[in-house]
A and B are shown apart, each in its own frame.
Chain A
Amino acid sequence: MLKRRVAIVGAGITLFRRRMLETGKELSFEASKMALDSAGLTLKDVDAVVEGSAPDAFDGVHMKGEYLLDGSGGVGKPYQRVFVGGGTGVFTPIAGWWNVASGFHDICLCVAEEKMSPLHPHPQYAFWSIFDQILERPLGVTLLWIFSLEMRRYMHKYGITEEDIAHVAVKNKGNAVDHPCAQLGARITVDDVMKSEPICWPVKRLDVSPPSDGAAAVVLASEKTAKKLTDQPVWLDGVGWTLDSTHWTNRDLAYPEYLEKAGRMAYKMAGIKNPRKEIDIAEVYDPFDYKELHHMEGLQLAGKGEAAKMTVEGVTQRDGDLPVCPSGGLLGVGNPIAAAGMMKICEVFWQLRGEAGKRQVKKDARVGLAQAWGDLMQVGTVAVMRS
């Protein structure tokens, strides 16, 4: 039985770029400041701070949460860093949710930061160290390898083509043209995606999101406080997360069961019985174009193997019946790991308040969803929000 309702009352974001001159602390500061300013608050009003950031290996800083502490406004406050790989971005406001819903704190600042550029020559090298030391690392394996396996399996199981999947990249990069922070907004065609350089077949250059630096933040408040702060609170009514087994080789790669379970946890909490009908907009995690489809199915927003058809038919466009990634997603806005998930939370917040400007979806959106994914294709994090 949940005891307290929690609202998002402010959001902030930095530019997403391949290499930012700002340090991780500075990026955290900029996003936090914008979020607090938008809520009409200062750091003095904040009771607790949650920071989300993915592997320490990007920065080469041990206990990265401690390092980012002052940039995130955590000095002299109860401060937690939470971490579930690529799922961290959506998990950070979930951690804020329990800080407030528990009654421990009234106002919680949630900051997600990622600076991937310090790792040379390429941040992909950090991902080598996520694999099993004995069984997998000797293969020199990268994340792209296992995702190409997953994409291939998904295509095979449901008879989906590379062209079908490419529609996601075209839509998201196109949407990102309207996002002021976007790194890779572009008007491209399915043909452009198909002709782009294969990185690890069937994953091609334009199927995958870029490495990025950036930060995003939201401010959470208890119901009573939120109503004093704003006329337009966005309620964080459902949260869910689960982790699947470490042994990814033993899983059904065609269907993300962990995400189905995480989604059901969040839907149950938010009282959502039919997600496809009740969810108005979804910021589904799209580090690869096929993942958006895969995740829509896990989230019960599409039947198994049916998300591609919905995309090709335009259902997931901004003016469609179920806009997916109206922000431009990771494929378009960029993928600073933890910050990318938080960017999705920010987007749903702005969409539900009607503040998304040129990105505003056509339908009257009242219920939104943000989702992230990570680890060894194993974690799903889900947040359901209502205006």
Chain B
Amino acid sequence: MPGAIDALLPLRIGIVGVGYSGFDSMTPGLSTRELMFEAASRAYEDAGIDPRKDVQSFICCTEDFWEGISITDEYMPDQLGAVLRPLCTVSSDGLVGLATACMHIASGLADVAVVESHSKASDVLNPSEIMSFALDPAYTRHVEADPRFVAGLEMARYLKDSGTKREYCAEVAVKNKRNALSNPRSVHGARLTKDEVLGSQPVATPLTDMEASKTIDGSIVFVLANAQKAKKLGNHTVWINGIGWNSDTPWIEDRNLSRATYAEQAASQAYKMANVRNPASYFDLAEVDDTYSYKELQHLEALKLAPRGKAGRMTSSGVFDKNGRLPVNVSGGSLGVGHLLEATGLHRVLEAIMQLRGDAGRMQVPKARKALVQSWRGIPTATGAVAVLGN
């Protein structure tokens, strides 16, 4: 692997078009396909392209059970303008789809590629049962509990091994929900105290309700281009300089629950590509997975943005606040904006792009030049991806 990536340097793939739709707890007026159409139309307009002529590859990140349809790629081409064009499903988080588009461009297969992912979570009547269907059918699924028990177990292990104080996790929720109040896309913004967070209903002890993100609806579309094409398209390119993805074992019982090994590995690939030597001082902002409060801390440590066991205390002392040394989830993250199922990674990229374009409004981090984005696929996986972005 090292040899291969060295040959690739420097990675420079432009995100030249951005479109999104939805970002609400329910979108009863629009079908999934209509949500996608809106997001795609906006992205193509932003990039100044015609999808029927200018795009060589379309990638959708979906999972059948969330869609309520088997083989969901069947229902993707028309609303993306991709009929009779190369389109495929990558059954993963949107950030892995973004990595796929990067590979299509780096291989020379495509000059311009489109990535889409969405959530129509409000159509899902039984999200908890669907999550349970991802547990091992023979060994784990029979545990008749909210599948987020896996997060409760992991959180307990992380707190114990890292020596992190319980209340620091609550402070992540306080920070992100407060940040979200400045984000026009947010659904779950709130001004809360850490006692309110700690006192909310338990989801899976020690995790509480306000520390667990809630799903929302939305579609996100990006148009990517090689460096040469990017110069001609759009007018505010954000560059992907490094991207990595990785998975730990699917056996929950076999993992080191206190560490996000997948994020460590994915980051090491992305940092290598982007030549990031000292991540803690390299980035101007980071959008990091916060599906559950403790996950943000665990991920910050895996990404080497905080020393092991220190992310909680640093959060508490304001290092990761909007005005802190390294703003983390200044968008409000998944806790504040909402969780978009497989589109969550693309949501984080979207927020980072807004910052790097200087279009983040009240959330704007001054002089934002380099951003880190990281995603996790949620329970019960240990799969995640990392992207290094710059403007």
Residue pair A77, B70 in contact (C-beta under 8 Å): no
Residue pair A85, B265 in contact (C-beta under 8 Å): no
Chain B residues lying within 8 Å of A59, measured Cβ to Cβ, are 137
B136 at the interface (CB under 8 A from A): yes
Residue pair A55, B71 in contact (C-beta under 8 Å): yes
Residue pair B251, A77 in contact (C-beta under 8 Å): no
Pick from B5, B83, B251: contact of A70, CB under 8 Å:
B251
B390 at the interface (CB under 8 A from A): no
Pick from A70, A80, A97: contact of B249, CB under 8 Å:
A70
A280 at the interface (CB under 8 A from B): no
- Segment of B97-105, B279-287, B311-319 in the binding face: B97-105
Q: Say whether, besides A56-B63, A76-B248, A246-B75, A66 and B377 are in contact (CB < 8 Å).
A: yes
Residue pair A60, B107 in contact (C-beta under 8 Å): no
B29 at the interface (CB under 8 A from A): no
B88: nearest chain-A partner, CB-CB: A84
- Segment of B126-134, B166-174, B328-336 in the binding face: B126-134
B87 at the interface (CB under 8 A from A): yes
Residue pair A82, B84 in contact (C-beta under 8 Å): no
Residue pair A245, B68 in contact (C-beta under 8 Å): no
A261 at the interface (CB under 8 A from B): yes
Residue pair B4, A63 in contact (C-beta under 8 Å): no
B324 at the interface (CB under 8 A from A): no
B203 at the interface (CB under 8 A from A): no
B92-117 CB contacts (< 8 Å) to partner A: 92, 96, 100, 102-109
B228-259 CB contacts (< 8 Å) to partner A: 244-251
Residue pair B106, A133 in contact (C-beta under 8 Å): no
The smallest C-beta distance from B375 to any residue of chain A, in angstroms, reads 14
Residue pair B70, A76 in contact (C-beta under 8 Å): no
B3 at the interface (CB under 8 A from A): yes
A261: nearest chain-B partner, CB-CB: B84
A62 at the interface (CB under 8 A from B): yes
Chain B residues lying within 8 Å of A129, measured Cβ to Cβ, are 68-70
A38-85 CB contacts (< 8 Å) to partner B: 47-48, 54-57, 59-67, 69-70, 74-85
Chain B residues lying within 8 Å of A102, measured Cβ to Cβ, are 8, 102-107
Chain B residues lying within 8 Å of A379, measured Cβ to Cβ, are 73
B1 at the interface (CB under 8 A from A): yes
Q: Say whether, besides A69-B247, A84-B88, A243 and B108 are in contact (CB < 8 Å).
A: no
B269 at the interface (CB under 8 A from A): yes
Interface size class of A (residues with CB under 8 A): 35 or more
Residue pair A67, B136 in contact (C-beta under 8 Å): yes
B74 at the interface (CB under 8 A from A): yes
Q: Say whether, besides A62-B63, A246-B78, A85 and B71 are in contact (CB < 8 Å).
A: yes
Q: Say whether, besides A60-B137, A82-B88, A103-B7, A98 and B100 are in contact (CB < 8 Å).
A: yes
> Quick one: CB contact mask for A75-109 with B, threshold 8 Å, 1 for yes?
11111111111000001000101111111111000
Q: Say whether, besides A83-B71, A130-B71, A106 and B88 are in contact (CB < 8 Å).
A: no
Q: Say whether, besides A3-B107, A78-B269, A101-B108, A69 and B88 are in contact (CB < 8 Å).
A: no
Chain B residues lying within 8 Å of A258, measured Cβ to Cβ, are 84
The smallest C-beta distance from B37 to any residue of chain A, in angstroms, reads 13
- Segment of A205-213, A317-325, A361-369, A370-378 in the binding face: A370-378
B89 at the interface (CB under 8 A from A): yes
A74: nearest chain-B partner, CB-CB: B247
Q: Say whether, besides A78-B246, A98-B109, A243 and B71 are in contact (CB < 8 Å).
A: no
> Quick one: CB contact mask for A226-270 with B, threshold 8 Å, 1 for yes?
000000000000011111111100000000011001100100000
A157 at the interface (CB under 8 A from B): no
B48 at the interface (CB under 8 A from A): no
The smallest C-beta distance from B160 to any residue of chain A, in angstroms, reads 24
> Quick one: CB contact mask for B128-155 with A, threshold 8 Å, 1 for yes?
0011011011000000000000000000
Chain A residues lying within 8 Å of B65, measured Cβ to Cβ, are 56, 62-63
Residue pair A85, B377 in contact (C-beta under 8 Å): no
B191 at the interface (CB under 8 A from A): no
Residue pair B3, A79 in contact (C-beta under 8 Å): no
Q: Say whether, besides A69-B250, A76-B247, A104-B103, A82 and B89 are in contact (CB < 8 Å).
A: yes
Residue pair A130, B90 in contact (C-beta under 8 Å): no
A200 at the interface (CB under 8 A from B): no
The smallest C-beta distance from A93 to any residue of chain B, in angstroms, reads 13
B28 at the interface (CB under 8 A from A): no
A222 at the interface (CB under 8 A from B): yes
User: How long is the Cα–Cα vector from A105 to B216 in the complex, in angstroms?
Assistant: 35
B164 at the interface (CB under 8 A from A): no
Residue pair B247, A75 in contact (C-beta under 8 Å): yes
Q: Say whether, besides A56-B65, A375-B73, A104 and B4 are in contact (CB < 8 Å).
A: yes
Chain A residues lying within 8 Å of B246, measured Cβ to Cβ, are 76-79
Chain B residues lying within 8 Å of A1, measured Cβ to Cβ, are 108
A4 at the interface (CB under 8 A from B): yes
Residue pair A246, B74 in contact (C-beta under 8 Å): yes
The smallest C-beta distance from B364 to any residue of chain A, in angstroms, reads 33
A145 at the interface (CB under 8 A from B): no
Residue pair B89, A98 in contact (C-beta under 8 Å): no
Pick from A47, A66, A75, A130: contact of B4, CB under 8 Å:
A47
B381 at the interface (CB under 8 A from A): yes
Pick from B78, B89, B250: contact of A84, CB under 8 Å:
B89
Chain A residues lying within 8 Å of B133, measured Cβ to Cβ, are 60-62
B77 at the interface (CB under 8 A from A): yes
Residue pair A82, B90 in contact (C-beta under 8 Å): yes
User: How long is the Cα–Cα vector from A150 to B343 in the complex, in angstroms?
Assistant: 36
The smallest C-beta distance from B278 to any residue of chain A, in angstroms, reads 24
Q: Say whether, besides A47-B4, A56-B65, A60-B137, A77 and B71 are in contact (CB < 8 Å).
A: no
B383 at the interface (CB under 8 A from A): yes
The smallest C-beta distance from A375 to any residue of chain B, in angstroms, reads 4
B82 at the interface (CB under 8 A from A): yes
B244: nearest chain-A partner, CB-CB: A78
A128-147 CB contacts (< 8 Å) to partner B: 129-130, 132-133
B64 at the interface (CB under 8 A from A): yes
A126 at the interface (CB under 8 A from B): yes
User: How long is the Cα–Cα vector from A56 to B137 in the complex, in angstroms?
Assistant: 13
A222: nearest chain-B partner, CB-CB: B4
B52 at the interface (CB under 8 A from A): no
Chain A residues lying within 8 Å of B266, measured Cβ to Cβ, are 78
User: How long is the Cα–Cα vector from A340 to B162 in the complex, in angstroms?
Assistant: 47
Q: Say whether, besides A55-B71, A56-B70, A246 and B108 are in contact (CB < 8 Å).
A: no
List 6 tightest A-B contacts by C-beta distance, closest first: A101-B107, A62-B133, A102-B103, A102-B106, A55-B70, A103-B8
| 10 CB-based A-B contacts, threshold 8 Å | A63-B134, A66-B134, A67-B136, A69-B247, A69-B249, A79-B247, A102-B104, A104-B106, A129-B69, A129-B70
Residues of A in contact with B (beta carbons under 8 Å apart): 1-4, 47-48, 54-57, 59-67, 69-70, 74-85, 91, 95, 97-106, 126-127, 129-130, 132-133, 222, 239-247, 257-258, 261-262, 265, 374-376, 378-379
